[in-house]
Structure 1
Amino acid sequence: MHGPASSGWLLVALCAVTGVYCLLRMRSGAEEQRSAAGGEALMGFGMASMAVPAAVFTPPSWAWAAYAAVFGAAAVHALWAARSGAHHLHHLVGAGAMVYMSVAMAGASSKPHGQGGSEVPLLTGALLLYFAGYVLLTGVRLVPVAAVAGGGAGGAGTAGWGDRPELARACRLSMGISMLVMLLTM
């Protein structure tokens, strides 16, 4: 990704920490948490690796094709999983955005610096609008989260830290913001 190195490293750290938390959510006792956590962990780690500043590490040309293949497979999986829940449609859009960025970065790495237009492609604009809306909606949903029901004096019936919906929403919010930043810096 193009942009300042300091913001690139912050993006790498945010996405990597989000990916680690999503991996931990895969151990959850709640099926709905486990079903989404794997795809979100893949997105977090993929975004972290793509956000490494180009001044530090320039991936080989074949890496962009590998990213496109991995996230293409994730998009197919999300499409298949979308039969059971609408949240997987968001995973489909996210994986598709990663494929799009991989293809765009592969094309950008083959052009000499200074070539190319300054216009924003239509697909990039559509993805920016989608993720901006997603970030706003997720942020609004995060604000009024109620306390976990059933948390009496003994704490019986409370959800584990990996099952807390507000933490999952906060991770989704941070990945949505990260996706916006990555699309803006393309």
Structure 2
Amino acid sequence: MPDADLVLDLALTIRHDGHGGVADDLAAPEGLTAWVRAHPAVLPGAARFTADADTLSAVRDLRAAVRALFARAVRPGDPSPADAARLLPDQEAIDRLNAAAALVPVVPRLNWPKGAEPAAEHAPAPGGPPAEELIAALARAAITFLTGPDRTKLRACHAPRCVRYFLKEHPRQEWCKPSCGNRARVARHHERHRAG
């Protein structure tokens, strides 16, 4: 899974609940367990992963850092409404992300399949605790995304009640998904008729 998709998926575990509020898919260890199992490329053995309260807390802390850095990346635009009142300071978010990435060292490995050229790959050092491997992998994916070209396409969706971030793939794209565009157009229509 590309880093952008993984990091966006982590950020999108905070979402609109359909009733005007915000839902958190990582509210309990079971939510994190389901999320990791749905993203098998994140962690070797993801199918057997079971989250505990400490791992959940660490991933939620990392997610808060990622969302704070997403808010920084979309400036001068506004951050997601879910984050606007509770963003971490930039340096705290950066420090939290870097500390998480350093939990499990990355080592070079030689990959040389028959009939192909040798290549160096960077992989987590073997033997780390699965929770630390997960957190470090998520943090490294966030760093790769935030330092890569996709960061400039990152936007916060400002449709009514939406709290998502998305990658702007088309020059006219304003919302994360068509339903948000429909809600925004309906809200503008009601506002124009209310003012008129």
| TM-score normalised by the chain length of structure 1 | 0.36
Q: Bigger radius of gyration, 1 or 2?
A: 2
Q: TM-score, normalised by structure 2?
A: 0.34
Work out which structure has the larger RCO, using CA pairs closer than 8 Å and 6 or more positions apart in sequence: 1
Bigger helix fraction:
1
